[in-house]
A = this chain, B = another copy of it.
Amino acid sequence: MPKLELSQLCDLLNQHGLAATLDGEDRTVTAVNTLEDAGDGEISFLSNPKYANALAMTKASAVILKGGIAAPVGVSCIRADDPYAAVTGAIVAIHGYRKHPTWGVSDQASVDPTATLGENANIAPGATVAAGATLGDNCTLYPGAYVGEGTTFGDECTLFPNAVVYDHCVLGDRVTIHAGSVVGQDGLGYAPVGGKWLKIPQIGRAVIGDDVEIGANCAIDRATLGQTEIGAGTKFGNVIVIGHGTRVGEDCMFAGLVGLAGSATIGRHVTFAGQSGSAGHLTVGDNVRAGGRAGIVRDVPADTEVLGTPAMPIAQARRSMAALHKLPEWTRRIKALEQELKTLKDRLAAKDVS
């Protein structure tokens, strides 16, 4: 069971550049939890002032707070400028990251004799490594994970259960793919021939950079030619669809149900919020933020925030949406104007006649 004194935790946070000071009694904490769920011996935090009520009611033994916010009576407090960053540090210090089961190379796994496994390969029963595939050191494949022919992984990659990487793809180091996600399947590449669709062999590949983490049930096409790319450090939520030949830059963050069509070029540190997406064959600049449901249909310059379908700069989108809300009122006002103008004209006409 994990265990840490609050004073030790402050030291650790300070070592990581997160200024933290103990405000109250030093105590031993054994877990981090939410304000609602925390109990005796647990530490929690308040980051969003919206949850101040939960702070008053918490049964936690300690909380992480900004200066100026009073801790409830009897609850120890760690003061931090950024409670969210500090609680992240606390979770890492007390709980750490998930430890995988240890399978070694299971004799119920299917590892082709021509495949190459690095040091400490951890291959579960029911996982597959196909012919000519190469895994770096310390890779973990959960049950049902599949590594296709000629595909190469760097070190410390993890495929959770039933994650699939097709043939001849490339993963960098420390790539994590959650359950059910698929990388490298054929994209929607067909040539129209006499009202039918003739399949174009998809001979390109998908290349996933270092430190990429991909959520559950995503689908990242291989390219028709060349490669689909997900840049190093990029993080995907669940059920994200990336079309063939699209290139996503480094350190991007995509939330659930995002879809990008093929041959798009996405810059660095771009965020796509839930259910947003983009058409293909366009360019999105660095640091662009696409809001929830945004549908990008043309190039977006760097450092822009967009919203709406078709997506537009956020200020314009907000004005348009506000105006849309008021449309029924505006139509009434137009009708009133028409009526008034008619009245006025009738009156003038009457005067002319008189």
Contacts and interface: CB of A to CB of B under 8 A. Distances in A.
Interface of A: 31-34, 36-37, 44, 48, 50, 84-85, 88, 91-92, 95-98, 101, 108, 110, 124-126, 128, 130-131, 142-144, 146, 149, 160-162, 164, 166-167, 178-182, 185-188, 190-191, 193, 195-204, 213, 215-219, 221, 223-227, 233, 235-239, 241, 243, 245, 251, 253, 255-257, 259, 261, 269, 274-275, 277, 279, 281, 292-293, 295, 297, 309-310, 312, 316, 319-321, 323-328, 330-331, 333-334, 337-338, 340-341, 344-345, 347-348
Contacts of A227: 37
27 contacts: A31-B203, A34-B226, A44-B225, A85-B193, A88-B191, A96-B201, A98-B186, A101-B130, A126-B126, A128-B143, A128-B161, A144-B144, A162-B162, A186-B213, A187-B215, A188-B237, A188-B255, A197-B235, A197-B251, A239-B259, A241-B256, A243-B255, A243-B274, A261-B274, A292-B295, A320-B325, A323-B330
A257 B233 contact: no
A19 to B, nearest CB: 14
Nearest to A327: B323
A338 to B, nearest CB: 6
Contacts of A259: 239, 256-257, 274-275
- 3 smallest CB-CB distances across A and B, nearest first, come from A219-B238, A323-B327, A34-B226
Contacts of A33: 225-226
Contacts of A269: 195
Nearest to A144: B144
A199 B217 contact: no
A328 to B, nearest CB: 4
A142 B223 CA distance: 21
Given A182-B178, A217-B217, A241-B238, A98 B167 contact: yes
A249 to B, nearest CB: 12
A196 to B, nearest CB: 6
B277 A277 contact: no
A304 to B, nearest CB: 16
A181 B161 CA distance: 11
Contacts of A203: 31-32, 91, 95
Nearest to A50: B281
Contact of A233 (B37, B196, B221): B196
A37 to B, nearest CB: 4
A179 B190 contact: no
Given A180-B219, A197-B235, A197-B253, 11 more contacts: A125-B128, A128-B143, A143-B144, A179-B182, A187-B215, A215-B219, A217-B217, A239-B241, A257-B277, A309-B309, A327-B327
A124 to B, nearest CB: 8
Given A225-B33, A226-B37, A337-B334, A164 B161 contact: yes
